[in-house]
Structure 1
Amino acid sequence: MTHRYNKQVFALLVSAAFFSACSVTKTYETPKMQTDGLYRGQNVTDSATMASQPWQTLFTDEKLKVLIQKGLDQNVNLKNAIQNILQAQASLQQAKLAYLPTLSADANATRSKQSSAGLNFPPGIDINTLTTTYKLSLSTSWEADIWGKLSSTKRAALAKYLETDAAKKAVQTQLIADIANNYYSLLALDQQLVITKETLKSRITNVATMKDLKEGAVVNGAAVVQSEASRYATEVTIPDLKRSIRETENAMSILLAQSPGTIDRSTMDAQTVPSTLATGVPAQLLQNRPDVQQAEMAFRGAFENTNLARTYFYPSLTVTASAGFSNLTLKDFFDHSIFYNLVGGLTQPIFNQGLNKARLKTAQSLQLQAMNNFQQSLLVAGQEVSNALYAYETAVEKQDSRAKQIAALVKAVDYTQDLLRYSSATNYTDVLTSEQSLLAAQLSGVSDHLQKLQAVVNLYRALGGGWK
């Protein structure tokens, strides 16, 4: 009767636990995020976005494509991100297997000797105080997931896996952008070096011209010295340009996971940009930006860890069992030597020095931090899209004015040089000013073109392009 009563009580406890489990843990739902107005000055309704475009079609320079593919194959940070995914996969698999019971085997032989005095038998009785016990057994243990502890652990592991997968995608999109931006920087430096070298040739010619004009008493010695100073001022910028080229090549080599060396490349004039830049609607950042996805999965993991922390306040149900053979002799090892036991129990925490409360408070705080980081990642994404769009717009806006400025300065240089040769209405200072302004405008024109190219790259990355 008592045995039957105990079984009924135990069954009632387990049933109550199962029905109460739903109130312990909560179901995760993606937070509703405010995305209106994330793109400053943009009121977009078209869902088409360049983020959906593969990088192989966005970039038209074949040499750049080769470098990007090489980076994707060899980059160290990307390889480490892949290893993080594998580690998270292993943790997820382990969390899934936690639902299954453990199983272990044990085989041992124990030799023991008891003291005669310790046995306290009457005198005259011969007792064998030396015994050998042989034992072969299997044991198993299983914890019922009545409060959602195991399922919360599994869901947290899944969130971690998805977080590492998103992190890998974020590394990939950043890598593609870094390679493209460094590539365009190299092309810009190449073109600036060509312009500077051509200008240097012109400066050297000017020095010879000034010397001839001095011989003809058209200019004085000051003009000759000024022309020489202008020549050297141009010449001294060339080593810095070469240094910048080498440093950029070295930076590119790191991205490609190779020793520093020359980077094969084309020219600035060969580069093209898309005819239209489709941004899509801001809400698409939640699906397209890997770092935003990563932040959400971090929040999801923190949410499940909070669920897990709640389960520690409730009893755990564990069932253990063991069975096997035990005998004093090997000869009759399997004869009448079977043993087994089965134990089921509920363990309820009563006092553990505030550990459970501290665990829950910590988990809740980490969850709030993760939520804040999620919101911040979306705001940063909107900022980066807005910045890239405006950088592109200003680069385009400058193009027409810059071209007109350069054309006017070319004429100014020609006019002042002619006036210096054939008229006394000007002096070399006017020539020098117009030449210096022309060089600065030409170099700025290259920078404008670079800004336009890099704005496209940065917009592509900011929208979440490069991993699909």
Structure 2
Amino acid sequence: MKPTLSLLAAAIWLSGCASTASSGVDIGLSQALEQHSQQTSLETAQWQGEQPDSALVQTQLLALIDLPRLEALQARALSANPDLQQTLLALSISEQRLGVSRAAQLPNASLGVDAQRSEDDEGISTQYRADLTVSWELDLWQRLADSSQASLADLMAQEADLAAAQASLVAQVLRTWLNWHTDGQLLAIERQRAELQQSNLTLIQSRYQRGTGSLDDLDTARSVLALTQANIAASEAASNARLRSLAALLGYADVSAMEQAIPSLFSAFDAPLDVAVPMTGLPVQDLAQRPDLQQAYHQLIAGEYRERVAYKALLPSINLSASLSDMGTSPSQALFASPAWSLLGGLTAPLFQGGALKAQAEIAELEREQAYWSFRASLLSAVVEVEDALEQERSLAQQQQHLSDALASAERSQASYRSRYVSGLVEISQLLDAQQNTFDSRSQLLQASRDRLLNRIDLGLALGLGV
């Protein structure tokens, strides 16, 4: 089955399962996702009608680029990026909130000791009073358990959010580096263009001095060289700005600090980029691995449990409490002599609160329904992103091939026009056009290679690859 049909069928099927589970989302959707994981795995190798080589199957986003020196960038970004550290702290906060919700299911114990000092005819005396109280709410309707499950779902959603933030950060770092690296290579091409144009200018000046060239040719060559030099200046500024952005993503104060800490980043700068990983090397993956889908799913589960908690707040609650109390002239007597004890049980039921509890229950139901539609939107968006990335992969592969052919033809044409111009058979404008086509083809081929690598990053994110 083609990826388009399989993915759309999976989206429609999973959405139907989710809609039938609106009254029991925590069970129905989990089964739907499990079956979706088993039945609708996205095998990108079938896009080419081939079976994947198990040795090439990758699971990490960085593996799609196949540039080992970028591992240092990934490690640095995951440990020093300020925004990611905030997400880590948010996860820690969710863990503590889960502990608070679970504590509500356990008995509470408190101990109080009071000392009272008084004076009478017999002198000054001190009395100690101790109270030990244990209270516990019987979770007869599982309201506290549902609240704890909602907090657990929140924690799992936060974990998925962290995984998404990590993948997004690494993808952003990779994109920035690839763009910066490509900027450097494009600058190198522009400098080669300027050198050749300077050589042309020297040749034209020589011919003009011998009387075989025209002033128009000389002005044309000077104009073309000046425009190229202006482009070089603008490209250098843009490249430096991109490098500063990369330093900020990695948590460095400036570029020099990054260069000292990661010298491998600036090594082999002139090495051409290549799409080293073929489509058959991409992983067998399914949409259930995407962190945003997992986050939306767990948020839906949390909404389901909060809806239950809100409706159960309308039911009676049973509370038990036991206490020990005593008085004595010393703390030990007040605690261990002959304490009096009491046991109390109470039943509390809401009678009238102006409809507040009913309104809160309806709000929780609407929020759960809102979370359901958010999950569906995330699923459909995931399907579109994968399809777009696969289609772009196909298009960029074809563009690379055509641009490679165009570059080979342009280089042959340039050599021919230069030889004919030296012989006086063609005009300078024809030679300049041939040279312009050669450098433009070279730049376009380099940009297509960069765009294909960037698309591989988008495809990895769409497939849910992590770091």
Please give the TM-score of this superposition, normalised by the length of structure 2.
Answer: 0.82
Counterpart selection for 2:268 from 266, 269, 277: 266
Question: Could you tell me which amino acid in structure 1 is paired with residue 443 of structure 2?
Answer: L
Matches within 5 A, 1:119-268: 134-261=128-255, 262=259, 263-267=265-269, 268=271
- Match in the other structure for 1:80: 86
- Match in the other structure for 1:276: 279
3-state SS in 2 of match to 1:214? helix
3-state SS in 2 of match to 1:249? helix
Do the aligned partners of 2:273 and 2:450 also contact (CA within 8 Å) in 1? no
- Match in the other structure for 1:344: 345
Q: Distance in 1 between matches of 2:284 and 2:74?
A: 28
3-state SS in 1 of match to 2:251? coil
Runs of 5+ unmatched residues, structure 2: 1-22, 260-264
Percent same amino acid among aligned pairs? 20
Q: What is the CA-CA distance between 1:337 and the residue it aligns to?
A: 5.8
Question: Could you tell me which amino acid in structure 2 is paired with residue 89 of structure 1?
Answer: E
Q: What is the CA-CA distance between 1:412 and the residue it aligns to?
A: 2.5
- Match in the other structure for 1:412: 413
Do the aligned partners of 2:248 and 2:254 also contact (CA within 8 Å) in 1? yes
Q: What is the CA-CA distance between 1:334 and the residue it aligns to?
A: 7.3
1:381 aligns with 2:382: yes
3-state SS in 2 of match to 1:234? helix
RMSD of aligned Cα (Å): 3.3
3-state SS in 2 of match to 1:28? helix
1:67 aligns with 2:67: no
- Match in the other structure for 1:446: 446
Matches within 5 A, 1:327-406: 338-406=339-407
Q: What is the CA-CA distance between 1:228 and the residue it aligns to?
A: 0.2
Do the aligned partners of 1:188 and 1:446 also contact (CA within 8 Å) in 2? yes
- Match in the other structure for 1:317: 318
Decide whether aligned partners of structure 1 residues 197 and 29 sit closer, same or farther in structure 2, where only a CA change above 3 A counts: same
Do the aligned partners of 1:384 and 1:462 also contact (CA within 8 Å) in 2? yes
Do the aligned partners of 1:89 and 1:161 also contact (CA within 8 Å) in 2? yes
Question: Could you tell me which amino acid in structure 1 is paired with residue 384 of structure 2?
Answer: Q
3-state SS in 1 of match to 2:141? coil
Which moved further from structure 2: 157-166 or 268-277? Answer: 268-277
- Match in the other structure for 1:299: 300
Which moved further from structure 2: 309-318 or 26-35? Answer: 26-35
Q: What is the CA-CA distance between 1:423 and the residue it aligns to?
A: 3.0
Instruction: Tell me the number of residue pairs that the alignment of Structure 1 and Structure 2 aligns.
Output: 425
Question: Could you tell me which amino acid in structure 2 is paired with residue 360 of structure 1?
Answer: A
Q: Distance in 1 between matches of 2:396 and 2:322?
A: 75
Which moved further from structure 2: 254-263 or 226-235? Answer: 254-263
Q: Distance in 1 between matches of 2:444 and 2:213?
A: 32
- Match in the other structure for 1:97: 103
Question: Could you tell me which amino acid in structure 2 is paired with residue 84 of structure 1?
Answer: A
Q: What is the CA-CA distance between 1:328 and the residue it aligns to?
A: 8.5
Q: What is the CA-CA distance between 1:103 and the residue it aligns to?
A: 0.5
Question: Could you tell me which amino acid in structure 2 is paired with residue 70 of structure 1?
Answer: R
Which moved further from structure 2: 390-399 or 155-164? Answer: 390-399
Q: What is the CA-CA distance between 1:51 and the residue it aligns to?
A: 8.3
Bigger-Rg structure (1/2): 1
1:457 aligns with 2:460: no
- Match in the other structure for 1:29: 27
- What CA deviation, in whole Å up to 9, does each residue of 1:229-279 have, x standing for no partner? 000111111122212221221121122111221453434525442123466
Do the aligned partners of 1:38 and 1:383 also contact (CA within 8 Å) in 2? no
- Match in the other structure for 1:326: 327
Question: Could you tell me which amino acid in structure 2 is paired with residue 385 of structure 1?
Answer: V
Q: Distance in 2 between matches of 1:168 and 1:298?
A: 14
Decide whether aligned partners of structure 1 residues 322 and 332 sit closer, same or farther in structure 2, where only a CA change above 3 A counts: closer
3-state SS in 2 of match to 1:136? strand
3-state SS in 2 of match to 1:269? coil
Runs of 5+ unmatched residues, structure 1: 1-24, 114-127
Please give the TM-score of this superposition, normalised by the length of structure 1.
Answer: 0.82
Do the aligned partners of 1:381 and 1:462 also contact (CA within 8 Å) in 2? yes
Question: Could you tell me which amino acid in structure 2 is paired with residue 191 of structure 1?
Answer: Q
Counterpart selection for 1:285 from 257, 268, 287: 287
- What CA deviation, in whole Å up to 9, does each residue of 1:152-185 have, x standing for no partner? 1110111011111111111111122122222211
Q: Distance in 2 between matches of 1:402 and 1:333?
A: 92
Q: What is the CA-CA distance between 1:109 and the residue it aligns to?
A: 3.5
Do the aligned partners of 1:289 and 1:462 also contact (CA within 8 Å) in 2? yes
Q: Distance in 1 between matches of 2:180 and 2:275?
A: 16
3-state SS in 2 of match to 1:317? strand
Question: Could you tell me which amino acid in structure 2 is paired with residue 99 of structure 1?
Answer: Q
Decide whether aligned partners of structure 1 residues 42 and 70 sit closer, same or farther in structure 2, where only a CA change above 3 A counts: closer
Q: What is the CA-CA distance between 1:421 and the residue it aligns to?
A: 2.8
- Match in the other structure for 1:21: none
- What CA deviation, in whole Å up to 9, does each residue of 1:289-343 have, x standing for no partner? 1111111111111111111101111001111221120358989857986322221
Q: What is the CA-CA distance between 1:27 and the residue it aligns to?
A: 7.2
Q: Distance in 2 between matches of 1:74 and 1:349?
A: 51
Q: Distance in 1 between matches of 2:46 and 2:194?
A: 49
3-state SS in 1 of match to 2:461? helix
Do the aligned partners of 2:322 and 2:343 also contact (CA within 8 Å) in 1? yes
Q: What is the CA-CA distance between 1:53 and the residue it aligns to?
A: 1.9
Q: Distance in 1 between matches of 2:350 and 2:51?
A: 53
Do the aligned partners of 2:176 and 2:246 also contact (CA within 8 Å) in 1? yes
Q: What is the CA-CA distance between 1:75 and the residue it aligns to?
A: 2.0
Decide whether aligned partners of structure 1 residues 418 and 47 sit closer, same or farther in structure 2, where only a CA change above 3 A counts: closer
Do the aligned partners of 1:285 and 1:464 also contact (CA within 8 Å) in 2? yes
Q: Distance in 2 between matches of 1:392 and 1:333?
A: 80
Q: Distance in 1 between matches of 2:104 and 2:57?
A: 39
Question: Could you tell me which amino acid in structure 2 is paired with residue 235 of structure 1?
Answer: Q
3-state SS in 1 of match to 2:134? strand
3-state SS in 1 of match to 2:324? strand
